[in-house]
Amino acid sequence: PWPLSNRDYVYHRRVGFQNNTFVVIAHAGLHKDAPEVNNTIRVEAFASRIAIRSTGVNGCDVFVEYCDESNYSVPNTFVNWGLQTSLPSYLTDLKMACANYAAYLRGLNDDAVQEIPSQIVRLRSQRRNSLSRTLHKSRSYSAEDQVFTPSPIRASHESFKNSVLTPTSRSARFASSFNLNSPTTASNEGNTFFIEFKSIETGLQLEMALKTKQAVVLGCKPNSEAAKSVAALSRGTIIVSVNTVQVQNQSVIEIMHRINRTPRPVLIGFRSTTDEIIESNILERGDDFIKLIVHSNDRFYDLISPRDIKSHLGAVLHTSFQSSGVDIPQGWHVIEINGTSMTELDFNEVVHYLRCSTSAKHVTLSKANEITSKLVQKISLKKKLSQAFSSKSIKTAKEPPVQNQPSVMISEPADIEALALQETLVDYSHVVVGLENVQWVWTHIQYLINEERLFSAAPLIEKLEQFLSPRLGNRQCADINQLVQGKLSELSQVKERSAMGHQALHEFNLDADAGWRFAQTYFGVSTHWKPGDDGTIWLKLDGICEGVDIFNALAVIRETDLFHLWAPFCNRSELLANLGRVELIAYMSLAIPLMQRDAIVHAFGINATYEHRCIVLLGKSITEDQCPVNNLEFPPIKGWNADRMDLRAFRALIEPYGRNRARTCIVVNVHPKCPVPMTLLNFTIKKMAGILLYLLMREAGKIEKHKNEHDPTNEHAKRIRNDPFYLWLHPRMQKWFEHLEAGTLPPVQTIRLRLERTSTGSLYGNRIETQSDLKSGRLSTSQSLKGSGVEREIFDCLYDVSIWPYLLLGVFYGWYITPTTPLWMARVCKCFLTCVYAWFGVAGSFSWQARCNEHVMAELSRWRLRVVLFALCFEVLSIFCTHLWSQYLVCHIGPSHLQIACTQRSLSEIRATEHFWMLANSFLIASFTVGIQIVVKIHI
């Protein structure tokens, strides 16, 4: 549909699969059966190209090129606006559909899964590639080779039709009377035979052989027609023809379709072979793993369940697997399928890998999780790990000898920085503290703190404290303990901030279930939002920064006093205190039309590039009482329309994918303290916030243009050249990217929450559960909702039945408001019914998650009183109008004889007329209430 003029398309589409990329090409065409629609213009010039390529387990690149000639003049401004508003929403819906695709496939049967167009295209591509690889090894066949000569069959067909021979003996007769012209067929004449099937269900179970890519007999269903010929149809027999038409180069799906479509009786040709067409089930076996072939009729996917019920990742055998001499007990984990790792895939994806085709699968299984990680490294990363451990620049977790250990304390900070860059390990998770390396551990804790690697420093501090506490009698341990006690406050802060960082990462990972609502996508940045407590709003900005150096992007984020140069509405920004390399207190002022808002933020960063492949930034607003710096003067609030915003939570996640590509996700909970309506304020913020990341990327691009100037004019470029922080940062980023490009980074660590610490109102607005909450682990759905502050009352389920206003209308007008009810009582009941619609209708205009929020309900209570008061006023007016209409005005409309009859009505007739209009009025109110609830369910 186009504005004022509709368009339709008739197009031809082709789908291909090349180099692991789906290519969809479409162009306009003509067809005699295409319907003609009135007032619709057909687009005759149209073309599109779409390329979809996988970029990993959970991502893909999509390239779209589209052009058409619609014969309709549209200003470019409108076209751009339409693309910016419609296309992102479409892509968001597409992403949601893809996320639910694997679960959708589980509801399909095997035939439906294998008939999915993408699966058919992929199988055809594999078969075409296989044929092209073997074409130079095979001789060319003549036209007579493609179709078997049918004359002998037709000549003897009637005799076989009336014969009482079994299918096996009948096949021998066919083999002896069948004459082939090609030399190859003649050479195989002794082992080629034919069987005639009369029933619709043949009972054949076919599979694509992994070696030859030919359809072979895997078995026969019991009591089927094929089972009678089980002596001739041994396992591995090749199917060569269907009604004398060769099918050797076709897939199993195409062969079965041909067999099912062919009228009965159908003649199927087979060829037995002495070669081992079907491989042995066990390909490789070790003490802790096994690699075997799983066939489609094994229904292996019915024997597995998710490895982790909570995350729904991976697959594990919940029932022992037995097939052709293979007996694997339950509890073994699925590691790979056809060379693809399954350990981090969703369980539905694992099942789809097993069901997507009838071909045999190479499945690798292992005993337990510990063996799983080792086996994945052995199979998938063998070459990379060998390079990593043989490299001189990459150190292992083995501690150096005692005589080579550095001193306990290093006095010069410059020495610490230089040694920290050279001596720190990429992975400290396997370090064990002992007497021989206790000084080495203490030194490396200082190195890690200097490198801002708090996620590695915190567990190492805990290991050191646990080791020292029972050994204070040892002089060496006593000396180290004295140094630890001297820096106890600093070490406690490291552990505290590490716990906060882990909690932030935990909530980033649970982002899909956090109740975010999509707002818009602008310049590649997706904006989501959700209501917070006490009138606050949560915002999330998520986008991929491409084409800009990550080093420059970090510089733009760090230089808070330069925000006024690029951030929208920011007219003043200052650095109030620099507490460390990645810790500061900053002031920002926003000049919004008709109001002035500012904020003072305390923020710090965590270098988690080695542990979690990311950089974490955390912060919040502070007051002068909460300031960690004594006598720090805060800028005053100036102006009648000025106020200080409350930034209750701020966290940012920067995931570098390369030197010029990274994902940036920013989550903010802010109370702007504005007197404007909250709905208008939320709409403005969520629409304008998306431009922030785009402006950040643009400012980082400016640095790249000015960094090589002798005297740069760009302020950020000047800071990079003159600030010692960037001299410290640059070699560390260079070192990390070298590890990334060499593939020598350690595995990503699991997120570690501090169970012993309870903080219901932590520094960054996150709630860290108590030890008892986390130990309970797998809570029920209701308990988890209660723990997150979302508990739905039973009475709230009324809104699940959208037609409840109609039901209530029927009860009132069936029992309490009738034509015989006294007029005053009917009017009182009608007023009460309208107030009920108003009271519950206000809450029905919100989702149930919002209604369960106590702050939202407090606001709803105020709105309810106002709406009920408005409903009472409306009822007084409607009663007066209804009475005026029924008593007087209705008699002055229409022909004269009807007017005379109207004036002669009895009281009961007048009462019936008024009752009808009261019912009509209540029905309209009920319909309005139902409509609001339906709209909320569709759009929220």
Mean pLDDT, 10 residues at a time, the chain of 940 residues: 69 82 86 78 83 75 79 64 71 77 73 68 62 46 39 39 38 39 39 84 79 76 76 77 82 82 86 62 76 79 81 81 77 84 80 75 76 46 38 38 40 66 86 89 92 92 91 89 91 93 81 69 74 80 82 90 87 90 91 82 93 92 88 84 87 89 87 66 61 82 81 86 88 90 85 46 35 37 40 61 83 85 87 86 65 58 79 87 80 68 76 85 87 65
What are the distances in angstroms from CA 330 to CA 250, 290, 293, 334?
37, 14, 17, 11
pLDDT of residue 789: 42
Strand intervals (E) in 798-871: none
Distance CA 455, CA 606 (A): 8
DSSP bridge pairs for 711: none
pLDDT of residue 607: 94
Task: With beta carbons less than 8 A apart as the criterion, state whether 829 and 816 touch.
Answer: yes
Burial class (CB in 10 A: 0-12, 13-18, 19+), 758: middle
Domain covering 6-99: architecture: 2-Layer Sandwich (3.30)
Q: Is 612 helix (H, G, I), strand (E, B) or coil?
A: coil
Report the relative pairing of strands 642-644 and 595-608 from DSSP bridges. Answer: parallel
What's the pTM? 0.44
pLDDT of residue 340: 79
In this structure, the dihedral spanned by the alpha carbons of residues 843, 511, 460 and 580, taken in order and rounded to 10 degrees, is: -80
pLDDT of residue 798: 65
What are the distances in angstroms from CA 12 to CA 7, 63, 65, 592, 793?
17, 19, 16, 52, 54
pLDDT of residue 516: 78
Sign of CA dihedral 637, 640, 641, 647: positive
Q: Is 524 helix (H, G, I), strand (E, B) or coil?
A: coil
Six-digit token pair at 347?
């369980």
Burial class (CB in 10 A: 0-12, 13-18, 19+), 514: middle
Task: With beta carbons less than 8 A apart as the criterion, state whether 442 and 463 touch.
Answer: no
pLDDT tens digit string along 23-76? 899 988 888 788 877 777 778 788 888 888 877 666 788 888 888 776 555 666
Could you tell me the residue ranges of all domains in the chain?
6-99, 139-271, 402-486, 508-742, 795-939
pLDDT of residue 638: 80
Six-digit token pair at 691?
């431009």
Q: How large is the C-alpha radius of gyration of the chain?
A: 37
pLDDT of residue 156: 40
Q: Is 643 helix (H, G, I), strand (E, B) or coil?
A: strand
Distance CA 419, CA 422 (A): 5
The owner of tokens 């039309």 is 593
The owner of tokens 């409350």 is 646
Sign of CA dihedral 743, 745, 747, 748: negative
CATH no., domain 139-271:
2.30.42.10
How far out from the chain centre does Cα 533 lie?
27
- Whether 139-271 and 508-742 share one fold: the answer is no
How far out from the chain centre does Cα 718 lie?
40
pLDDT of residue 211: 64
Distance CA 877, CA 91 (A): 49
Element (H, E) at 914: helix 907-939
* Cis amide prior to 265 (ω within 30 degrees): yes
What are the distances in angstroms from CA 521 to CA 90, 92, 329, 553, 750?
10, 9, 49, 21, 31
The owner of tokens 């190209």 is 49
In this structure, the dihedral spanned by the alpha carbons of residues 62, 113, 250 and 49, taken in order and rounded to 10 degrees, is: -20
Six-digit token pair at 574?
């200052």
CATH 3.60.15.10 fits 508-742, yes or no: no
Q: Backbone phi, then psi, for 765, in 5-degree steps?
A: 75, 10
Distance CA 634, CA 600 (A): 8
Task: With beta carbons less than 8 A apart as the criterion, state whether 445 and 480 touch.
Answer: no
Task: With beta carbons less than 8 A apart as the criterion, state whether 751 and 506 touch.
Answer: yes
Distance CA 397, CA 721 (A): 35
Six-digit token pair at 665?
């996700």
Six-digit token pair at 708?
């090589």
